[in-house]
Amino acid sequence: MAKMTVLQYPDERLRKVAQKIEKVDDNIRSVIDDMFETMYEEQGVGLAATQVDIHKRLFVADCSEDQNEPMVFINPEITEAEGHFKNDEGCLSFPGVYAKVERAEKITVTALDKNGERFSRSAEGLLAICIQHEIDHLNGKLFVDYLSPLKRERIRKKLEKEQRLAEKYATEAH
Ligand code: NI
């Protein structure tokens, strides 16, 4: 297993629309293992393939308190959604940024698991938010797209500044 690099906003590759996975094979399972390692190490609750520059319809998640309920969703689709729910969201592509986003409160999602078997499950609360957030990633959509242009611009400037600083320190350390 190997830890992957998570793309940081405003990297344009986060805007790519992911392609359907035709076959769930060992290659895909190896990507899944690396994505879990990356997500747990970065202390995220979800990670979409798009965020590690792999433009396939796949995400991993673990919204449990003890981080011991790994879930894989391949070619996920929301088939039912009801209610509204507004909650703080963060994202591994936006370190240190949190913002309130309105989502459906309850959803039903169908997807393939890591063996290529189709499943369907209902979700609410944090898991429902996470699934909607990750499916957005696969469509090149980001949680800041729900905010006002002004707020989004402020977040972009903050992250670009932090990235410049990080690059500067990395260069000086060499
Ligand atoms: Ni995210």
Residue partners of 111: CB distance under 8 A and separation at least 6: 72, 73, 74, 75, 76, 77, 118, 119
pLDDT band at 2 (very low <50, low <70, confident <90, very high): confident
Among 42, 134, 162, 167, the active-site one is 134
Residues that constitute the known binding site for Fe cation: 91, 133, 137
Q: What separation in Å is there between the alpha carbon of 143 and the centre of ligand 1?
A: 7
pTM over 0.75: yes
> What's the rounded Cα separation, in Å, for the pair 85 and 99?
13
> What's the rounded Cα separation, in Å, for the pair 62 and 40?
9
The yes-or-no verdict on residue 173 having pLDDT over 80 is: no
Q: What is the DSSP letter of 93?
A: T
Active site residue 134: yes
pLDDT band at 172 (very low <50, low <70, confident <90, very high): confident
pLDDT tens profile 115-134? 999 999 999 999 999 999 99
Domains of the chain: 12-147 (3.90.45.10)
pLDDT tens profile 76-95? 999 999 999 999 999 999 99
- Apex CA 15: angle with CA 9 and CA 17, to 5°? 145
Q: What is the pLDDT of residue 170?
A: 86
For the segment 105-110, the average pLDDT, to the nearest whole number, is 98
